[in-house]
Structure 1
């Protein structure tokens, strides 16, 4: 599998998980509020970012791989909506997040 194929698969799974989560949340809101139509409310959801250095996984130059993930949803139902490799680990997480958000919006 090429890197492009892996990125496309990651994006497709993230899109599907996000859509599934949002559908579940909307169904829950409709049931709990008795709302049967669009009430003009803007749905809010949790967004968390989590960076991890992958133990035992190294890149071609021998450095450890570091990933950042964007998680959506409440803690008990969170899904990974998108993830990306961070070039340079922790000091570059903010750059990776900025680029991740640009590709997902």
Structure 2
């Protein structure tokens, strides 16, 4: 097993690959076969830019601040490691399923 640390300034996103390289002897392995997702440390969701409908999961390593709308039909999950704060402007309506989960999210 190899433990790695992803630099904190790595932009959140999908389609990351990891390749292991050594310096003594100099070798480079093939990139991972599975695409990786890096989640942000924190996520701020504001209306109307981040209004959600349909099936969505929003993740953050530490916290989510949500002042957006979840619009029917929707099945939305927020998942953060430490805090989910629903701020003024956060709104759901009839026909939506909304879950907030405090748990670690895999990076």
Per the shorter chain, which TM-score range?
under 0.3
**TM-score (ref. length: structure 1):** 0.21
Q: From the two aligned structures, give the one with the greater helix fraction.
A: 1
**Structure with larger Rg:** 2
